[in-house]
Copies of this chain bind each other. A is one copy, B any other.
């Protein structure tokens, strides 16, 4: 799905994919910056813990945000498509000044939220200027084309990754998370080579891309973000490689961005701190 249309008098809100395992207690720089963008202590944060099967995920994040001084923080206990019809949840999102998607399983998230008023509301609120942050599965689902699954530690293969439609907050990139920690470069290479118009963004744990309305992002956190730009590929064996066969991809451009680096998704240019 393409991003919602941004009205003339609005800027789209920040999109903040986080690579999972972000710091939640001592010096939680990523979550603090998300709170600052959402309005600081006066913000109204709404947590969507649907990716997670654990009942405590929502309440735990309430404590995290309360510790950051946020007074208005709530979570939506959505665990089924039926729950998405609850009018009160849509009203909560209408009041939100920041929306947070927890980790878990991105297919659980997309199969429960996809096509419901909750998904529409998250997209609409972001187009109206509300920042949306998501960690781990919550980061993956942000893009139009979502990495649904695919083994780590594997040589890139034609069948090394499975895509599914995501929430579509951005359509210029495909996002992966726990990136270095779970050795997911192979599946990101496979994903970007399916159609090199997609920029690959691989985000380490405790690391985030703060993507502004101008499609420029800054890296925040302790790890790095790996950018895979396949747009200048001189050769790809993708379309003709047999099942399970190792891929050849010649001419990939890779940037490795640690905190303070910036990147323009539209022009595919990286900037040093």
Contact = CB atoms under 8 A, between A and B. Distances in A.
Interface of A: 152-156, 180-181, 183, 185-186, 189, 204, 207, 222-224, 234-235, 237, 241, 245-261, 270, 272-273
A258 B254 CA distance: 19
A183 B186 CA distance: 10
Say how many copies of this protein the assembly contains: 2
A155 B221 CA distance: 12
- Chain A at the B interface: SS class: loop
Given A183-B153, A183-B180, A185-B185, A261 B273 contact: no
B270 A246 contact: no
Contact of A254 (B180, B183, B252, B272): B252
A79 to B, nearest CB: 33
A257 B248 contact: yes
Given A153-B180, A180-B155, A204-B155, A248 B253 contact: no
Given A153-B180, A248-B273, 16 more contacts: A152-B183, A153-B181, A154-B180, A155-B204, A180-B183, A180-B186, A207-B246, A223-B246, A224-B246, A234-B270, A235-B270, A237-B272, A237-B273, A249-B255, A250-B272, A252-B256
Contacts of A152: 183
A217 to B, nearest CB: 14
Given A223-B155, A253-B251, A246 B272 contact: no
A262 to B, nearest CB: 11
A154 B183 CA distance: 9
Contacts of A255: 249-252
Contacts of A207: 246
Given A183-B180, A185-B185, A250-B261, A156 B256 contact: yes
B250 A270 contact: yes
